Amino acid sequence: MMIKFFIPNRLHGEKIIFLLRRHPMILLAKLINWALISVLPLIFYWLLSDSISRIFPGTIFMPLVILFTSLFYLYIWLFAFASYVDYYLDVWIVTNQRIIDIEQKGLFSRVVAEQKIDRIQDVTSEIKGFFSTMLDYGNVYVQTAGEKERFVFKQVPAPYQVAKKIGKIIEQNQRKNQAKK
């Protein structure tokens, strides 16, 4: 099921070694942010209901409050869901033959890039900042041969272990290629 949905143009004998997404804390932080914003209309209403009712006459005040509140919560809910979709669809897959970078950029842009394992030259991990250090998440940079940009696994859990595992896969691949020769 995973292979069917995630690997574009699957190669012969290709197996998923691991599949990475951002650390769940990144999603949680976004959801907490939307939850905090959702309290704003209540505070706004509590503080300014008297002034607003004076600005807008009686017939129009309540309909406006209901329409605005309804739209506000609908869109907060939509943005929270979009945060989840963005988190869920940004995936980095390492197989025994290649690395695939799938990123959902907004609603109508999806970028899929891939690179063969034997073209990888360097793998670096980076943990930067207080929360990243405490929760052990960060970036993994995969530098490939040629002029192509390096791959970045963004805010993935345990970046050091991920870099180490990719290094091992590269070694295994090199040994296999040498044995074939």
Binding residues for other proteins, per CB under 8 A? 1-2, 4-6, 57, 59-60, 62-64, 66-67, 70-71, 73-75, 77-78, 81-82, 84-85, 88-89, 102, 104, 107-108, 110
State which H helix or E strand residue 151 sits in: strand 151-157
CA distance 160 to 96: 19
Smaller CB distance to other proteins: residue 65 or 158? 65
- What is the chain's Cα-based Rg? 24
Tell me the closest approach of the beta carbon of residue 136 to other proteins, in angstroms: 23
Tell me the closest approach of the beta carbon of residue 36 to other proteins, in angstroms: 18
With beta carbons less than 8 A apart as the criterion, state whether 142 and 151 touch: yes
Tell me the closest approach of the beta carbon of residue 122 to other proteins, in angstroms: 30
Tell me the closest approach of the beta carbon of residue 80 to other proteins, in angstroms: 9
CA distance 155 to 132: 8
Smaller CB distance to other proteins: residue 48 or 111? 111
Smaller CB distance to other proteins: residue 114 or 118? 114
Smaller CB distance to other proteins: residue 102 or 142? 102
The token duo for 35 is: 């939850």
If phi > 0 it is left, if psi is from -120 to 50 it is alpha, else beta; for residue 122 that is: beta
